[in-house]
Chain A
Amino acid sequence: EDQVTQSPEALRLQEGESSSLNCSYTVSGLRGLFWYRQDPGKGPEFLFTLYSAGEEKEKERLKATLTKKESFLHITAPKPEDSATYLCAVFSNTDKLIFGTGTRLQVFP
């Protein structure tokens, strides 16, 4: 059974304090790993897709990396507006997007 586990569950950072969010997965045939940002009361906002181990993608202060077992979302010098829940999801041979439970990030000025 496909599984996605995110850690930590919650993360509090000082503005400018870089850190990483983890997404571990076990799937039957990974077709893609996705990162989304979700603000309270809103739908998920697409950030990145990673397709194969070794792939990296960057967008502003965010960088996503992928290995055969896990993905990391690195946040460099975060700002308060980066506060949100970050969701990881995998797409496998089941043809479904399976989500982790997310990491709630709070960045304080």
Chain B
Amino acid sequence: GAVVSQHPSRVICKSGTSVKIECRSLDFQATTMFWYRQFPKKSLMLMATSNEGSKATYEQGVEKDKFLINHASLTLSTLTVTSAHPEDSSFYICSARSLIGGPYEQYFGPGTRLTVT
């Protein structure tokens, strides 16, 4: 149980285009989902917290107009990187909070490698 999927796993796009990443909780409902960014050999940096049906809460320094987050259902959240630039290239990981285990446990997706050329 508590499986989270992401799609796509890898994406290459040209500078100036937009890219959408999907995060799905496959076998549980997730009222809260999180988006992280990870640079090579670095830890995960929280970008935003999204609650189903409401606006996402962004961390300080994260541009909400660049990283659009939508949490339209209890099993799906999307991250859209708008007008992507090479500095947006990174490993993006989502997670979902499940009440199946402990009250604060988060389960992570496999990640999406974004490369902007």
Instruction: Give me the interface of A with B, judged by CB distance under 8 Å.
Output: 31-32, 34, 36, 41-46, 49, 51, 87, 91, 95-102, 104
Contact = CB atoms under 8 A, between A and B. Distances in A.
B108 A97 contact: no
Nearest to B10: A41
Contacts of B49: 95-96
B47 to A, nearest CB: 11
Contacts of A51: 102
6 contacts: A41-B111, A43-B109, A44-B93, A49-B104, A97-B46, A99-B43
Interface of B: 2, 4, 6, 34, 41-44, 46, 49, 91, 93, 95, 101-111, 113
B44 A34 contact: no
A41 B112 CA distance: 9
Contacts of A42: 110-111
Given A45-B108, A46-B107, A49-B102, A102 B43 contact: yes
A98 B41 CA distance: 16
Given A96-B49, A97-B34, A97-B106, A44 B44 contact: yes
